[in-house]
Structure 1
């Protein structure tokens, strides 16, 4: 199977994303370590160091740093940090069930943005049905909160009602912008996967460090008192560092998997996979971690799974239909018969995916 085939990229991204979700949950939730920007900065630093090590060992190659590419790529890295920051703010104030519904709605925004701005594949009725099923699954999963009107997260009841919606809207827009911009820039720069990983993480480091210094001063003092100063919880420092190290290694995998997946599929598929890869986590929670097994939780997983099947089937249909489409005659070297003049090679018909790769 070729590396350009989407199946290996999707599988690799799913596995790395699940590993990243679990390790970050351990770091940020199990140890109550409230310094997200610092964790992300450490993950980016680890990823860059691993790239440099593997490059020196001859195991991989990546484009070397140059200021021209860095200046043009920096907006993508900044958009990534904005997406993370607004998402953290939205989760802080909004109930997680409603947050998930809005995140799934973002997939529709990305799909139509891809069609409007980048001439992506059209949103067919079957694809739209898959989106609706994914949204329905998240509504069912969080119905108890949604039906009772629990928009504000517990502990944040004194916050005005517009605050969670503001941060949620900002996160939807930055998520869609990052996904679409990343896809376009990868093609424009002709970056290979490790080039994307290198520039994305390297340029994110200063932004993440500055954000940590600006917004996480109080959390740093609290974490220092808990994990470093002598006390009952200071023994957890070793396990916290171990968990952060594992999450940093998984960050390298998800950086590569995400870049690979975006390049060989689309921004919409990339976002759809990001939503669907929560299914095995939900199932494992019910099987291994005593999460409540209710009609709503089981129905939610089942509907999302069927939605994923619908989406995969619809994209496969599109791929079959796109094969053999004539190339628009925009190249002056192609004559009216669809032949590239001067070499006698018929360039009139080729796979639609190849048009994106050229």
Structure 2
């Protein structure tokens, strides 16, 4: 399935000569030096020195992050951008019930309704995708091969949902147990992914001069490297904001905000990647948007019923009280 129409519809990243880990590993190297470089300048005042015991306890979280990145890349190899985005929302349901088991959270009827809408949007998206494959919208007459490609994508998507949910829930658990500051979370998260990505890249990717020139064409090499540095530096603030959001709200709210951010990406997939614009695909995106609004309303209702404010900050608690609470959880 290498014809031009299919390449426009699916983000093709399946070529063995393409270094899938090379660019993420390069980007992961930017935040730790930048964070340490900002500390003496006073831009980051609360970054603690490197602690091997903390790093050992955080390392499984970094492994899950790498797994999330890799399975995400493999999913996009077989699925279109809109379908990938819609199925990614299923992670929220797994995280919500993970919070019930690990952190004593609760799921309100409105939240259940939003989860049901998410599942419905995923079913509609899968139906629309399979119909497009059977009808030849993938650009191939072999519908069986097209459906087989989709099945592989759904399998990778299932693994991505597991890795994403385990990563977010595990990160919140370790942040609470280790009393990590937001900058500490960003620093260890990016630092510990570097050796994993580098080792995986050296073992599995082609580092020949030909492949390097293929991934970094000479006429655009400088622009690509500068863009990677910019995106790596932007990862500092993304990691910081992610850690802050998980710490002061909940893993489910963090995931829902991320899902709402991805809906414009799903729409852009229809516009820029020539994905078939069908009633099913548009309906799936619309249902995903409605599910996000329903969940946001459920959080507002839950906050109002408890007599508190919107879930933006948690009450201040002493270190000893936090330790006692975490020990009992």
Q: Match for residue 85 of structure 1?
A: 70
Q: Match for residue 17 of structure 1?
A: none
CA offset digits 1:98-129 (Å, max 9, x no partner) = 54444222221111111012212x11121122
Question: What secondary structure does 1:57 align onto?
Answer: coil
Contact map agreement 1:83 1:171 (CA 8 A) in 2: yes
Q: Match for residue 347 of structure 1?
A: none
Question: What secondary structure does 1:63 align onto?
Answer: coil
Q: Report how far residue 181 of structure 1 moved.
A: 0.5
Give the distance between the partners of 1:165 and 1:282, measured in 2 at CA. 17
Verify: 1:169 aligned to 2:169, yes or no: no
Gaps of 5+ in 1: 1-27, 325-350
Q: Report how far residue 86 of structure 1 moved.
A: 2.5
Larger RCO of the pair (alpha carbons < 8 Å, separation 6+)? 2
CA offset digits 1:14-62 (Å, max 9, x no partner) = xxxxxxxxxxxxxx98xx9933322222222111111112111011121
Q: Match for residue 354 of structure 1?
A: 315
Contact map agreement 1:196 1:259 (CA 8 A) in 2: yes
Give the distance between the partners of 2:182 and 2:210, measured in 1 at CA. 38
Verify: 1:318 aligned to 2:277, yes or no: no
Deviates more, 1:140-149 or 1:179-188: 140-149
CA offset digits 1:154-175 (Å, max 9, x no partner) = 8994979875454333222221
Gaps of 5+ in 2: 1-11, 323-329
Question: What secondary structure does 2:93 align onto?
Answer: helix
Give the distance between the partners of 1:320 and 1:200, measured in 2 at CA. 35
Contact map agreement 1:106 1:176 (CA 8 A) in 2: yes
Give the distance between the partners of 1:94 and 1:301, measured in 2 at CA. 15
Q: Report how far residue 196 of structure 1 moved.
A: 0.2
Q: Report how far residue 138 of structure 1 moved.
A: 4.5
Give the distance between the partners of 1:36 and 1:160, measured in 2 at CA. 19
CA offset digits 1:162-219 (Å, max 9, x no partner) = 754543332222211111111111111111110100111111111111111122226x
CA offset digits 1:305-338 (Å, max 9, x no partner) = 32222111101122233347xxxxxxxxxxxxxx
Verify: 1:200 aligned to 2:210, yes or no: no
Contact map agreement 1:179 1:267 (CA 8 A) in 2: yes
Structure 1 pair 302/93, CA: closer, same or farther in 2 (3 Å)?
closer
Structure 1 pair 356/126, CA: closer, same or farther in 2 (3 Å)?
farther
Contact map agreement 2:90 2:119 (CA 8 A) in 1: yes
Q: Report how far residue 260 of structure 1 moved.
A: 1.3
Give the distance between the partners of 2:29 and 2:244, measured in 1 at CA. 20
Give the distance between the partners of 2:209 and 2:123, measured in 1 at CA. 38
Q: Which has the larger radius of gyration?
A: 1
Structure 1 pair 37/117, CA: closer, same or farther in 2 (3 Å)?
same
Q: TM-score normalized by structure 1?
A: 0.70
Equivalence map 1:13-162=2 (5 Å): 34-61=18-45, 62-94=47-79, 98-120=83-105, 122-141=106-125, 143-147=127-131, 157=145
Q: CA RMSD in A?
A: 3.7
Q: Match for residue 6 of structure 1?
A: none
Q: Match for residue 180 of structure 2?
A: 191
Question: What secondary structure does 1:71 align onto?
Answer: helix
Question: What secondary structure does 2:48 align onto?
Answer: coil
Find 2:252's aligned residue among 268, 277, 292: 268
Q: Report how far residue 302 of structure 1 moved.
A: 3.5
Give the distance between the partners of 1:144 and 1:162, measured in 2 at CA. 14
CA offset digits 1:123-145 (Å, max 9, x no partner) = 11211221232343444455432
Contact map agreement 1:97 1:142 (CA 8 A) in 2: no
Question: What secondary structure does 2:21 align onto?
Answer: helix
Structure 1 pair 305/148, CA: closer, same or farther in 2 (3 Å)?
closer
Find 2:233's aligned residue among 240, 243, 249: 249
Contact map agreement 2:82 2:269 (CA 8 A) in 1: no
Give the distance between the partners of 2:288 and 2:155, measured in 1 at CA. 27
